Chains A and B, each alone.
Chain A
Amino acid sequence: MMDSLDAVVTQVQALSGSADDCVHLAGLLKQSESVLAVHAPRLLYALAALDPAKHSLGYLYLLEAHSSGTLSKEQAGSFVVAASNFLTVCSADQIRLAIDKFNILCRRLKDQAMQMMEPSCAILPLYAAIRKSQPSSEYLTPLHADYLLLCLLSKCYKAGLNILEDDIFEIDQKRTGLMPRDFLLHCYYGGMLYIGLKRFGKALEFFQHAITAPATVLNAITIAAYKKFVLVCLIHNGQVPPFPKYTPSVVQRNLKSCAQDYFDLANLYNSRNIMDVKRCVNAHEDVFKNDTNLGLANQVIASLYKRNIQRLTQTYLTLSLQDIADTVQLDGPKEAELHILQMIQDGEIFATINQKDGMVSFQEDPEQYNTRKMANMLDSEIQHIIRLAKKLSSVDEQVLCDQNYLSKIGKDRPRYDPDDFELVPQKMYTNL
């Protein structure tokens, strides 16, 4: 006699064909969750009767129910293997019918990989999961933040670019299960990945999204993002800009008190005095260490040396290594030479060093922007901007037709403007 679990398996096998059957199956599985919970010890055998590619929806429910309790080390290992395989081969159409369940399973895989201290093992499966759960690459999902976290922990920064370089235009909670926290984490972890890749401009962009996201209360992720934002601003631009107008007022009013040590460093950086900045970093070393930002703070010091050397190139055509060392407060001409060589290699200055007399000759940027490579790059950027402009125009049209927007505009304007109804100008009456 077939018991309830066998009945569920039979239903999954019978109703995983057409799209209509799968929708019907989704409803049945939702009602069978208690059955799956009761038969948890037998779910592994039930899973063996299903094909994760053909019976993805049923497989998802059973696998999630099987892994919902505490897992032994051996069970955790088996779960990671099964979940990784499932995420790689599952049907996107089927799993989208139970997106919340799918997100829970993916999150569980991420948690297990972290507990096993093997975050890299879940990177490829989670990437496959993102692509299957997204209606298109323009949609942000909760899995984005988890994926970026695993890339950070594995120090596989370039793997993060696979999704960081997508243009995200759509936030749809119903279709993806995205929550505000997922958005903030995506911005924070994304910013950190770009720091790891030394792409500070993009890192600032991501942190800025976290700082300016609409908010009514202060969020710990926003605070963490702002601390890194301050340090990266100093490294990349030499200054921290004021908050944009669209920053939530609760953030503008309260963020400074949460990051006072960082503000102190930013204020001292403006003086361009290396010793003052070093003293400040030493004085706040414990705070930076607790926030795991001491490495970035040291990069701030290094950036100040570079910035001071760059300022010299704007004044002098040639300068001795000794003079550079004295002006920039380096230990001697040897250290100055090392800094100059590194900056030349990184394309931050254009100069030649005469080792015979210890003189540095500063030169203009030789780039003439007249090569085929430069033309192709410019063309690619222009095409990208044209696509963005079209997208912006399309979004603008959607907003103009949005019911909420129209009712708000209607509220702000008076319904009838008396001037519209003056058929005879006032001055005509005086002549009567």
Chain B
Amino acid sequence: MKPFPVYVGFDMEDQGVGAAMDVDLDGDALDLLGDALSDHKPSDADFFNSFEDDFDDADLA
């Protein structure tokens, strides 16, 4: 991997956010709903994920 001094994309601390980004204000009620449902099985559990393990570089040796 090439030298990568800064991981971009996650450091939002220094960036100002406008009122439009404060959507979580109305999400408080939705958060409670999420907590109530968090014990349940995750949704879309039937999605296709039956792949072979294709990312083992030992196959390339």
A153 close to B51 (CB less than 8 A): yes
Instruction: Tell yes or no: A196 within 8 A of B by CB.
Output: yes
B53 close to A181 (CB less than 8 A): no
Instruction: Tell yes or no: A254 within 8 A of B by CB.
Output: yes
Interface residues on B, range: 35 or more
A184 close to B44 (CB less than 8 A): yes
**Interface residue tally for chain A (C-beta within 8 Å):** 60
Q: A196-B55, A294-B53 are in contact. Are A237 and B10 (CB under 8 A)?
A: no
Instruction: Tell yes or no: A221 within 8 A of B by CB.
Output: yes
Q: What secondary structure prevails in chain A residues at the interface with B?
A: helix
CB distance from A329 to the nearest CB of B (A): 19
The 8 Å CB contact of B9, one of A155, A208, A289, is A208
Q: Which residue of A lies closest to B45 (CB)?
A: A220
Q: A195-B55, A299-B55, A302-B57 are in contact. Are A218 and B1 (CB under 8 A)?
A: no
Question: Contact mask B15-58 → A, CB, 8 Å, 1/0?
Answer: 00101110111010011011101101011110111011111111
B38 close to A295 (CB less than 8 A): no
Chain A 182-198 residues near chain B, CB threshold 8 A = 184-185, 192, 195-196
Q: Which residue of B lies closest to A298 (CB)?
A: B56
Residues of A within 8 A of B43 (CB): 217-220
The 8 Å CB contact of A295, one of B1, B12, B53, is B53
> Which one of A58-66, A245-253, A265-273, A424-432 is at the interface?
A245-253
CB distance from B15 to the nearest CB of A (A): 9
Q: Which residue of B lies closest to A251 (CB)?
A: B34
CB distance from A330 to the nearest CB of B (A): 16
CB distance from B28 to the nearest CB of A (A): 9
A292 close to B45 (CB less than 8 A): no
A219 close to B44 (CB less than 8 A): yes
Q: Which residue of A lies closest to B57 (CB)?
A: A299
Given the complex of chains A and B, what is the CA–CA distance between A205 and B9 in angstroms? 8
Residues of A within 8 A of B51 (CB): 152-153, 192, 292
Q: What secondary structure prevails in chain B residues at the interface with A?
A: loop
Q: A181-B44, A208-B9, A348-B1 are in contact. Are A217 and B34 (CB under 8 A)?
A: yes
Residues of A within 8 A of B57 (CB): 295, 298-299, 302
Question: Contact mask A194-231 → B, CB, 8 Å, 1/0?
Answer: 01100010001100100000111111111110000000
Chain A 238-288 residues near chain B, CB threshold 8 A = 239, 241-242, 244-246, 248-250, 253-254, 258
B53 close to A217 (CB less than 8 A): no
Given the complex of chains A and B, what is the CA–CA distance between A235 and B43 in angstroms? 29
A217 close to B40 (CB less than 8 A): yes
Q: Which residue of A lies closest to B41 (CB)?
A: A220
Given the complex of chains A and B, what is the CA–CA distance between A295 and B4 in angstroms? 23
Instruction: Tell yes or no: A405 within 8 A of B by CB.
Output: yes
B44 close to A241 (CB less than 8 A): no
B42 close to A242 (CB less than 8 A): no
Given the complex of chains A and B, what is the CA–CA distance between A239 and B10 in angstroms? 12
Residues of B within 8 A of A181 (CB): 44, 47
Question: Contact mask A288-318 → B, CB, 8 Å, 1/0?
Answer: 0100111110110011001100100000000
A217 close to B38 (CB less than 8 A): yes
B47 close to A220 (CB less than 8 A): yes
Residues of A within 8 A of B49 (CB): 224, 292
9 A-B pairs besides A216-B31, A307-B1 with CB distance below 8 A are A217-B42, A218-B43, A224-B47, A237-B4, A298-B58, A299-B56, A348-B2, A399-B20, A408-B20
Question: Could you list 5 examples of A-B contacts with CB < 8 Å?
Answer: A152-B51, A185-B47, A200-B1, A236-B4, A250-B35
